[in-house]
A and B are shown apart, each in its own frame.
Chain A
Amino acid sequence: MPKSLTPRLSKLKEEIEGHALEFGLDFFETVFEVLSYDELNMVAAYGGFPTRYPHWRWGMDYEQLSKGYEYGLSKIYELVINNDPCYAYLLESNSEVDQKLVMAHVYGHCDFFKNNFSFRHTNRRMIDDMANHATRVRRWIDKIGVEKVEDFIDRALSLENLIDQHAPHIRRNPDPKKAEDELKANERVEGFKVNREYMRGYINPSEFLDSQRRKVEEEKLRTRKFPERPQRDVLLFLLEHAPLEPWEADILAILRDEAYYFAPQGQTKIMNEGWASYWHSTIMTRRALKDDEIIEYADRHSGTMGTRPGALNPYKLGIELWRDIEDRWNKGRFGKEWDECDDLRARRSWDKKLGAGREKIFEVRKHYNDITFIDTFLTAEFAIEQKLFVYGFNEKRNSWEILDREFRKVKNKLLQGLTNFGQPIIEVVDGNFENRGEMLLTHRHDGQDLKGDYARETLRNLQSLWRRPTSIITRYDGKSVMLRFDGQNHTERKIEL
């Protein structure tokens, strides 16, 4: 089981930590633990945590990781979790250069976790909570039986991405103006007109007024939409309104908690990996590397930064963007003057010796996530230099091919992939659809169709939690379609909106 650092490693840790602090990184206390590859694979399969609730999918991930390692195809270098203190793991069998690189990389991540706004609302004691979740689920398994609990988790996992990615940062109040109107309407119940003030008690007795008020309220309830506004946090909606057993609700709440905990890591993948890579590279090449370690380091670093045509390496894209930003702010390549300069030669030799690069990237790491990061800082020059392109599927040739290298298209495609963090936007619009307690979702179609068979299976899983028929409105080939599952059969019909 986990071993604490050897004296040699703790010395290295101190050294690297010192460099990191000197460069101005700001992180929670970081605890390194040394694991054998098998343990590391287990922890990685658990998403970085020492314990998770029992479920076969960890086993699936574990199998992939351990087979990959045993065949020498892949190896986990670094694993760190967002927690206070941060926990990071070192692979026992790694060489010293590797350990240094990993430590430097980890400090980059820890700094990012602590400072980036996306993580501000995450639970910094997640390591304890994960263990508690595991205990709770285990207890339910003892009581209810493993089959039932696991089936429920399987179905709930199918809905795991239906959370409101932005929820931690905003409060989605019901419309305040409408709430005010309602209040007024309540006071407006006045009863019959009374000419003689002494008759009031007889014409409008208080029981009568109350009953009138009740009527108005009921009327309002009947017409009120449920939910009042479309709700993106489908899991929350289920928790609040679905007829769940106590154990089901408990487990669903656990899964929702964990989904929210992991969400920011998906929202900042490029920035976060880029930032950590920027810092391992800076710390290693400027400070920590000894002469005889350079080749090994270079080999490792280039391995991490490798690209292949059909996939974007977040490490590579991230580190290059950070360096580009630093360079631009060092040389003053931003602002109105720069944007309006058409002279290629002037642009190429543009250097105002501002030296504001470091400061700028520290500021950026605080206030951006992947979308705003790409949107703000990915320039045409950068896209050309990095040889970015858009690819797509050619039905005729039945193969993937390069479609375009035009900057706008590349950027749009990138941003599109990041919108709602690569997930389709799905909302609950009606929890009492057709006035029969059915659930209606809509998919805010943004040009990409849903995967049909998956959508139907997901509807089925949703239905099993909601217990009433569930439907979703989406679009296929430009036509609005409603998919419905009533507990027995799937149906599909075209609708006019």
Chain B
Amino acid sequence: MSLRIHQDHSRFKQIVRGKIKANLRKYVQKGEMVGKKGKDAISIPIPFIDIPHFKYGHKEQGGVGQGDGEVGQQLAPGAVQPGEGQQAGQGEGDHVLEVDVTLDELAQILGEELQLPNIERRQNEKIVTQKIKYTGVNTTGPESLRHFKRTYKQALRRQIAMGTYDPSRPVIIPTREDRRYRSYKLQDLPETNAVIIYMMDVSGSMGDEQKEIVRIESFWLDTWLRHQYKGLEARYIIHDAVAREVDRDTFFHTRESGGTMISSAYKLCRDIIKADYPKSAWNVYPFHFSDGDNWSADDTRQCIEMLRDDIIPGVNQFAYGQVESPYGSGQFIKDLREAIGDSNNVALSEIADKDAIYTSIKDFLGKGR
């Protein structure tokens, strides 16, 4: 159900996010609401817009309170709320409230903030599911689809017309002809499927900070792609000198050591795609994060061949993010740039530190593929 106020509401949210009416931005203030989640108190900030009036400075104002306490005793922090009291006639609760953000809203904000284009679907509408859609009313049909209201109306109309309707004893008896049934059509609903394949280098040179960066970045990528595709799948691959598929938790928390052979991950990635995600039915997004310090030039060559021949033709976009580690940034991204940098479904990005995540997300998602 849609309420009239939803228009006002979405307009308010747009103002707060700074999408429209920049002149009001300076009046946006941060409120705080203390909620409870289990035993913990949680606080989520919520903005509100305070239109300026001629009014008293709050600090000078003070006021009258009620309760125990000696003169000179401090009031509990938060006991005094700025602003006027609530309007007359509105029951309990004078809390300053806050807003939470759903992941979908977050993705919208992300999209607006980074001006990300919506993704062009590649293999769209190849798989089709059928859905039932009720389209009208019919005189025949199964009893389970009987339209009670329409049947009643029909019977009422007939009885009045026949003169058998008695207002003092308004009994309506539908006959076979009065019955009305919902009719439906089967509709083809195109379905789009998407999968993200995360690959991360967990060799000795990837420290906690680097993994933190990967985690944050993949959270945002995940949020955005989920916003674009319903039913997004994710697969996780970690690799040092060998690659293996793991679950999400392991992906973010493992610390291995050893050398780096990127080709192992690409090989696994290629196999996964081949086995589970045929090009005709899936939008595939491999993301690979590494510090770029590959074992040998030979392995790099193998990687490039695999990317060019097998992976890139079958995916929407291949993305490689090179995280700078304490040991410096590797050679790998340069090799990739030379070999496949100009193909238009490859995104390469160097992430120097946490602040660079912002631009890196834009590098990855800015192409709208």
Min CB gap A434→B, angstroms:
22
Tell me the chain B residues, 1-34 only, with Cβ under 8 Å from chain A. Answer: 1, 3-13, 15, 21, 23-24, 27, 33
B11's contact among A56, A157, A159, A273, by CB below 8 Å, is which? A56
| Residues of the B chain whose Cβ atoms lie less than 8 Å from the Cβ of A304 | 91-92
Contact, CB under 8 Å: A454 / B65? no
Whose C-beta in chain B lies nearest to the C-beta of A159?
B53
Contact, CB under 8 Å: A311 / B52? no
| Residues of the A chain whose Cβ atoms lie less than 8 Å from the Cβ of B162 | none
B63 within 8 A of partner (CB):
yes
Alpha-carbon distance A417/B56, docked complex (angstroms): 10
Contact, CB under 8 Å: B76 / A309? yes
Tell me the chain B residues, 47-67 only, with Cβ under 8 Å from chain A. Answer: 48-49, 51-67
Alpha-carbon distance A352/B174, docked complex (angstroms): 74
Alpha-carbon distance A205/B67, docked complex (angstroms): 82
A12 within 8 A of partner (CB):
no
Whose C-beta in chain B lies nearest to the C-beta of A316?
B66
| Residues of the B chain whose Cβ atoms lie less than 8 Å from the Cβ of A453 | 52
Min CB gap A376→B, angstroms:
17
A458's contact among B15, B53, B89, by CB below 8 Å, is which? B53
| Residues of the A chain whose Cβ atoms lie less than 8 Å from the Cβ of B3 | 38-39, 42
Contact, CB under 8 Å: A410 / B64? yes
Alpha-carbon distance A262/B87, docked complex (angstroms): 9
Whose C-beta in chain B lies nearest to the C-beta of A47?
B87
A196 within 8 A of partner (CB):
no
Alpha-carbon distance A150/B51, docked complex (angstroms): 13
Contact, CB under 8 Å: B62 / A390? yes
| Residues of the B chain whose Cβ atoms lie less than 8 Å from the Cβ of A451 | 55-58
A422's contact among B8, B35, B74, B84, by CB below 8 Å, is which? B84
Given the contacts A60-B48, A68-B95, A309-B76, A450 and B89 also touching, CB distance less than 8 Å: no
Contact, CB under 8 Å: B89 / A73? no
B55's contact among A71, A150, A423, by CB below 8 Å, is which? A423
| Residues of the B chain whose Cβ atoms lie less than 8 Å from the Cβ of A393 | 59-60, 62
A354 within 8 A of partner (CB):
no
Alpha-carbon distance A305/B188, docked complex (angstroms): 59
Given the contacts A59-B5, A403-B62, A67 and B80 also touching, CB distance less than 8 Å: no
A58 within 8 A of partner (CB):
yes
B73 within 8 A of partner (CB):
yes
Contact, CB under 8 Å: A391 / B72? no
Min CB gap B243→A, angstroms:
44
Contact, CB under 8 Å: A402 / B79? no
Alpha-carbon distance A147/B35, docked complex (angstroms): 36
Contact string, B77-94, partner A, CB cutoff 8 A, digits 1/0? Answer: 101110011011111111
B342 within 8 A of partner (CB):
no
Contact, CB under 8 Å: B63 / A401? no
B69 within 8 A of partner (CB):
yes
Contact string, A54-76, partner B, CB cutoff 8 A, digits 1/0? Answer: 11111110111101100101111
Alpha-carbon distance A391/B51, docked complex (angstroms): 27
Alpha-carbon distance A316/B1, docked complex (angstroms): 38
| Residues of the A chain whose Cβ atoms lie less than 8 Å from the Cβ of B81 | 310-311
Whose C-beta in chain A lies nearest to the C-beta of B8?
A59
Contact, CB under 8 Å: A109 / B89? yes
Number of interface residues of B (CB under 8 A): 69
Min CB gap B80→A, angstroms:
4
B68 within 8 A of partner (CB):
yes
Q: Which of B51, B53, B74, B87 has the most A CB atoms < 10 Å from its CB?
A: B53
Q: Which of A185-193, A223-231, A245-253, A264-272 contacts B (4 or more CB under 8 A)?
A: A264-272
Q: Which of A78-86, A171-179, A334-342, A358-366 contacts B (4 or more CB under 8 A)?
A: A78-86
Whose C-beta in chain B lies nearest to the C-beta of A64?
B97
B51's contact among A48, A147, A154, by CB below 8 Å, is which? A154
Q: Which of A211-219, A381-389, A487-495 contacts B (4 or more CB under 8 A)?
A: A381-389
| Residues of the A chain whose Cβ atoms lie less than 8 Å from the Cβ of B161 | none
A309's contact among B11, B55, B66, B84, by CB below 8 Å, is which? B66
Alpha-carbon distance A277/B177, docked complex (angstroms): 58
Contact, CB under 8 Å: A73 / B48? no
Contact, CB under 8 Å: B67 / A80? no
Alpha-carbon distance A391/B3, docked complex (angstroms): 42
Alpha-carbon distance A387/B67, docked complex (angstroms): 5
Alpha-carbon distance A45/B4, docked complex (angstroms): 11
Whose C-beta in chain B lies nearest to the C-beta of A410?
B64
B166 within 8 A of partner (CB):
no
A308 within 8 A of partner (CB):
yes
| Residues of the B chain whose Cβ atoms lie less than 8 Å from the Cβ of A81 | 89
B75's contact among A59, A402, A457, A461, by CB below 8 Å, is which? A402
Contact, CB under 8 Å: B9 / A310? no
Alpha-carbon distance A40/B85, docked complex (angstroms): 20
Given the contacts A310-B65, A311-B81, A391-B80, A397 and B74 also touching, CB distance less than 8 Å: yes
Contact, CB under 8 Å: B64 / A76? no
Whose C-beta in chain A lies nearest to the C-beta of B66?
A307
Alpha-carbon distance A53/B97, docked complex (angstroms): 24
Min CB gap A183→B, angstroms:
38
Contact, CB under 8 Å: B63 / A417? yes
Alpha-carbon distance A311/B8, docked complex (angstroms): 30
A314 within 8 A of partner (CB):
yes
| Residues of the A chain whose Cβ atoms lie less than 8 Å from the Cβ of B11 | 54, 56, 59
Given the contacts A62-B8, A77-B92, A68 and B97 also touching, CB distance less than 8 Å: yes
A136 within 8 A of partner (CB):
no
Min CB gap B131→A, angstroms:
28
Whose C-beta in chain B lies nearest to the C-beta of A414?
B64
Min CB gap B274→A, angstroms:
46
Alpha-carbon distance A440/B61, docked complex (angstroms): 26
Alpha-carbon distance A169/B60, docked complex (angstroms): 32
Q: Which of A266, A309, A399, A423 has the most B CB atoms < 10 Å from its CB?
A: A309
Min CB gap B277→A, angstroms:
38
Whose C-beta in chain A lies nearest to the C-beta of B78?
A310
A46 within 8 A of partner (CB):
yes
| Residues of the A chain whose Cβ atoms lie less than 8 Å from the Cβ of B54 | 161-162, 423-424, 426, 443, 450, 454-455, 458, 472
Alpha-carbon distance A151/B20, docked complex (angstroms): 11
Alpha-carbon distance A458/B56, docked complex (angstroms): 13
Contact, CB under 8 Å: A77 / B91? yes
Given the contacts A311-B81, A391-B63, A391-B65, A55 and B8 also touching, CB distance less than 8 Å: yes
B109 within 8 A of partner (CB):
no
Contact, CB under 8 Å: B97 / A391? no
A74's contact among B6, B61, B92, by CB below 8 Å, is which? B92
A313 within 8 A of partner (CB):
yes
| Residues of the A chain whose Cβ atoms lie less than 8 Å from the Cβ of B46 | 63-64, 67
Contact, CB under 8 Å: A68 / B33? yes
Contact, CB under 8 Å: B62 / A62? no
Contact, CB under 8 Å: A450 / B15? no
B275 within 8 A of partner (CB):
no
Alpha-carbon distance A54/B4, docked complex (angstroms): 9
Alpha-carbon distance A265/B70, docked complex (angstroms): 34
Contact, CB under 8 Å: B67 / A309? yes
The 8 closest A-B pairs by CB, nearest first: A74-B93, A310-B79, A59-B8, A265-B88, A59-B9, A59-B12, A392-B62, A310-B80
List 4 extra interface pairs beyond A42-B5, A64-B46, CB under 8 A: A68-B97, A161-B55, A265-B87, A387-B66
Residue pairs across A and B with Cβ atoms less than 8 A apart, 5 shown, are A59-B5, A67-B46, A161-B54, A448-B61, A450-B54
